[in-house]
Chains A and B, each alone.
Chain A
Amino acid sequence: MKTLRTSLALLLAAVTASAFAQATSYRDIKTPPLRSFAMPQPKRIALPNGMVIFLEEDHELPLISGRALIRGGARDVAPDKAGLAGILSASWRTGGTQSQTGDQLDDFLAARAASVETGVGSDSASVSMSPLKGDLDAVFPIWLDILRNPAFRAEKIELAKTQAGAGIARRNDNPGSIAGRETTKLGYGSNSPYARQSEYATLASITRDDLVAFHQRFVHPNDIIVSFIGDFDAAAMEQRLRAAFASWPRGPQAPKAPSAFANAAKPGLYFIAKDEVTQANISMVHPGTTRDNPDYPALAVLNEIFSGGFSGRLMTNLRSQKGLTYGVGGGVGANWDYPGLFRVSMATKSGSTLESLAALRAEVAKLTTAPVTEQELSLAKESILNAFVFQMDTRAKALSQRVLLEFYGYPADWYTTYPAKIEKVTAADVQRVAKKYVHPDQLAVLVVGNEADFEKPLASVGTITPIDITIPEPPQTH
């Protein structure tokens, strides 16, 4: 019956198509081959002092962007100084240079619609600039000066600490952010360099000397990648950068990535009480892997099947079919130079918390037990392969990918060889990596919510370990 109807429909479609030259099913639409294109790759320049420079001309708009990416970040900071990266991030640029205060720079740059900004992340710091083309000569020296001679004026460090203190005070206001943060702490352990959180006490201990020490320890040419993109002549820019950096002597080598896992949580059920909310946030976590793992392409396909786009299993089963959640997602995490986490998360109304918990557990278990269908495999692979063009569809993306590979010491052709690796992934590969990297019995499961409104007590599904997220009071100064 169904076959008959289908073929009849196809026949009709064919008739209609010829009559109106317009498809009536997406299956009838022909896909011409994608025209081949090669995004121009940036020019790589290695200075004798170890600095690497990438230049990419882009003349479409009268803009220039530059960045110095520095090895060193929050993960390299001592535990009792947790929060230093944030303070540094906020006060490096605002603290000004030896010759100009940050406020003077603010006015000067704003008048030119230009920016010079600093940021410090988990594994890197950056000093970036973005002027209009005509203001390059005015802005370049400021960028250089912030990079090499920051003044770290005390009042801006104090301001940054006030701001960071406000962040601590507010960190328990939104249940989604509580869940995200605490899941990371469960996964790596609260003492991990990738999960440590700042407290009023650690903030109070941070001094100007600590910022100066960070700068002295990490800001050396051999630990910096400089990249520029925009409306400039590459030869002239090269000359400018050589003149600025060639005489800068080498410093010590930046440390390797510290080990990620510290006091990671034991498998089990964890609970954080949160009033004034109507939803429970549920998450599950255990260790993941790194991107240089040969299993990474198979894991990427697994993740796509599990949680890709709006058509992955989690969205289809928990959102579209069951109506349990608005946001659900997850997968095996893989970072560039330290292990990621396998994590899944969702939010659901308080009254369907246990139902959702069970449904989410079932989806995770299914990864390791149920076979991947051919339809799922082809959907996942085609989604990744057809969308691959978006990895490199602008010069800016081509540049930032190239910088990323250089920064983490990956081969320069890592992206270009990736599609071929995806094509080779089989259903058996996906099955194998699911069993190898997903462990339903090793999950730390976290629920954040208002238990009085749950449909059943949480204790009915396991022994609960409560997590106290009360914010420790600031140290007494008098």
Chain B
Amino acid sequence: MRAVRIAVLLLLAPLAAFAQDLASFEKRTTVRKLDNGLTIIITERHDAPVFSYATVVNAGSAQESVGITGLAHMFEHMAFKGSDRIGTSDWPAEEKALAKVEETYAAYDRARRQETNRDDAKVAELEKAWRDALAEADKYVVDNEFSQVVDRAGGVGVNAFTAQDITAYFFSLPSNRFELWAFLESERLRHPVFRQFYKERDVVTEERRMRVESDPFGRLEEEFVSAAFVAHPYGLSSGVGWPSDLASFSATDAAAFFKKYYVPSNIVIALVGDVKASDAMPVLEKYFGRLPKAPAPEPLRTVEPPQRAERTVVLRESSQPIYMEGYHRPASTDPNNATYDVISMLLSSGRTSRLYRSLVRDKKIAANAGGGSGYPGEKYPNLFVVQAVPTPGHTPDEDATAIHAELERLKTEDVPADELQSVKTRVKAGLIRELDSNSGLALELASYQTLYGDWRELFREVDRIDKVTAADVKRVATETFVPLNRTVGKLESTRGGAK
């Protein structure tokens, strides 16, 4: 249940291989779309009696709007609270009690948010009614039963994350627990119950305090992303949501979000490991076939308009300085995506990268520097971001100047052939190394199927990267790295660095 994956996606996203790997993987991979629209991918690997899975829902923080920021992530937490059959001692009674919680909460929340003539005595009375209802509902909770069943069965790596584009759930189990897994996973998609919602809202708010409020990078990134997007929901919040929304939205709001986005046609499940597709499919159809067919959610309307002014946010506090800047670029389905991948690698992959050599090795003005696309998501037009952490005695502006010199070089000089080839070789090897882990592969397959409509894109991306030329790099860099298309985020230390 880590939140919001803010990491620059270059690290996770586009790695790929070649024809022979694709062929060998296709042989071991079965894809099935159930009648209700749910997609299942199974890649068999029988070395050990274990399997990993990832459920990827094609909805994330970008599906939020003002008033419900943080709700996608909140739902992710609720998915561990069980169903009408897991986590309750008496469902009919609990169902009634939870309805009462929602009814009393709606009245209380409405009254306390009243803009004029708020009646504090009335608010207190309504709050008490809500708290009494919560206490009643709590009587039927079997604490963490869902997690207990998974733990007891030998589950490892039990977790989930909410990104701007997707929400993912994953863990690994011994393969004799396959049917148990199918039951559990389909249960929480079939009838999730929002028990202990308001306690979990407090937990999520603690997560916000930890990730965003108490960490200088978190504080800077929240300001940065809010400045970079003026229309598109990528800039609506850092993903974890604003405190006022977290303190106000309800289980009823979460249920509406679930109903709209957690429909079978919007979900991909990938399984990797000791699972025989021919045996598994009937079991999967039995359990996941229970999910009712529903219309797919409408695609997002808002597109970020072209940027007309350079934007800068500056934090001044006692922490050490940080510099970041971002340039708008198209979605990852754009034909130039492979060129952006190459640019990321040129700038920031390892000790041969240009930013390392310039800022870290030669000028010694940064402890580290790097960047890439997919910030804060990749499904929609997003940012190519460069970050640098100045060394003591150096300022964000010095790092900015050196970064801009490297971006200019991309526009004006052809990438030498050997440097380009080195990047391409590393992309291929990177994908091969990625295939090693069941859990990593399950998440990749489900994510690619979700974002590109076909898991094979994981491999095809490599072929596209292989075709990128020096002229492509120059052209895309020239289009992208212009001041008017830039948002800058700086943390300037009020304490000054040690000299």
Contacts and interface: CB of A to CB of B under 8 A. Distances in A.
A277 B176 CA distance: 46
A439 interface: no
Interface stretch (A163-171, A220-228, A283-291, A426-434): A163-171
Given A29-B180, A320-B143, A311 B154 contact: no
A276 B318 contact: yes
Given A110-B422, A275-B318, A310 B392 contact: no
Interface string A130-169: 0010000000000000000000000000010011011111
Contacts of A340: none
Contact of B158 (A35, A168, A309): A309
A169 B320 contact: yes
B148 A474 contact: no
A386 B174 contact: yes
B257 interface: no
B156 A390 contact: yes
Interface string B269-296: 0000000000000000011001000000
Interface stretch (B106-114, B227-235, B429-437): B429-437
| Interface-centre pick from A33, A173, A324, A325 (highest chain B CB count, 10 A) | A173
Contacts of A24: 85
A24 B184 CA distance: 10
Given A62-B432, A386-B152, A324 B206 contact: yes
A420 interface: no
A460 interface: no
Nearest to A393: B48
Given A106-B351, A200-B498, A311 B364 contact: no
B320 A173 contact: yes
A32 B178 CA distance: 10
Contacts of B425: 111-113
Interface string A117-130: 00000000000000
| Interface-centre pick from A22, A23, A166 (highest chain B CB count, 10 A) | A166
A34 interface: yes
Interface string B84-100: 01100110000000000
Contact of A63 (B180, B206, B290, B432): B432
Contact of B147 (A309, A393, A474): A309
Given A21-B286, A29-B183, A163-B367, A106 B206 contact: no
B285 to A, nearest CB: 10
A23 B153 CA distance: 17
Contacts of B361: 103, 159
A100 interface: no
A393 B48 CA distance: 5
A311 B148 contact: yes
B152 A383 contact: yes
Interface in A294-334: 308-311, 315-316, 319-327
Given A34-B175, A325-B206, A39 B48 contact: yes
Interface residues of A, number: 86
Interface in A372-395: 378-379, 382-383, 385-390, 392-395
A382 B152 contact: yes
Nearest to A30: B179
A267 interface: no
Nearest to A102: B351
A311 B174 contact: no
Given A315-B144, A389-B48, A379 B151 contact: yes
Nearest to A309: B151
B180 A387 contact: no
B176 A33 contact: yes
Contacts of A309: 147, 150-151, 155, 158
Interface string B131-145: 000000000000110
Contacts of A394: 47-48, 436
A471 B350 CA distance: 31
A319 B433 CA distance: 37
Contact of B49 (A5, A35, A277, A325): A35
Contacts of A396: 436
Nearest to B435: A61
Interface stretch (B207-215, B446-454, B480-488): B207-215
B319 interface: yes
Nearest to B273: A393
Interface stretch (B197-205, B327-335, B375-383, B463-471): B197-205
A368 interface: no
A112 B418 CA distance: 11
Contacts of B214: 174-176, 276-279, 347
Given A2-B90, A165-B392, A320-B196, A386 B210 contact: no
B48 A174 contact: no
Interface residues of B, number: 82
B391 interface: yes
| Interface-centre pick from B153, B201, B389 (highest chain A CB count, 10 A) | B153
A100 B152 CA distance: 54
A169 B392 contact: yes
Contacts of A2: 89-90
Contact of A173 (B47, B319, B352): B319
Contacts of B475: none
Contact of B216 (A113, A173, A378, A383): A173
B426 A385 contact: no
B317 interface: yes
Interface in A1-47: 2, 5, 20-26, 29-35, 37, 39
Contacts of A60: 47
Contacts of A319: 203
A387 B319 contact: no
B498 A276 contact: no
A26 B286 contact: no
Contact of B207 (A275, A326, A387): A326
Contact of A165 (B47, B50, B204, B498): B498
Given A26-B184, A200-B498, A390 B50 contact: yes
A392 B209 CA distance: 37
B456 interface: no
Contact of A37 (B49, B153, B213, B364): B49
Interface string B104-138: 00000000000000000000000000000000000
A385 B179 contact: no
Given A37-B49, A277-B213, A474 B498 contact: yes
A201 to B, nearest CB: 12
A320 B319 contact: no
Given A277-B214, A310-B80, A389 B174 contact: yes
Contacts of B430: 113
A413 interface: no
Given A106-B352, A174-B214, A387-B156, A471 B151 contact: no
Given A163-B391, A311-B147, A379 B152 contact: yes
A60 B152 CA distance: 31
Given A61-B432, A315-B144, A26 B183 contact: yes
A474 to B, nearest CB: 6
Given A173-B216, A379-B148, 12 more contacts: A21-B286, A37-B48, A39-B48, A62-B432, A162-B391, A166-B367, A326-B203, A387-B155, A388-B154, A389-B48, A389-B49, A471-B498
17 contacts: A26-B85, A31-B177, A31-B180, A37-B48, A162-B391, A163-B391, A167-B367, A169-B320, A176-B214, A278-B214, A309-B158, A311-B148, A347-B206, A387-B154, A389-B48, A390-B156, A394-B48
Interface of B: 1, 47-50, 80, 85-86, 89-90, 143-144, 147-156, 158, 172, 174-177, 179-180, 183-184, 196, 198-207, 209-210, 213-216, 286-287, 290, 317-320, 350-352, 360-361, 364, 367, 389-392, 418, 421-422, 425-426, 428-430, 432-433, 435-436, 497-499
Closest 4 CB pairs of A and B: A386-B154, A113-B429, A323-B202, A166-B367
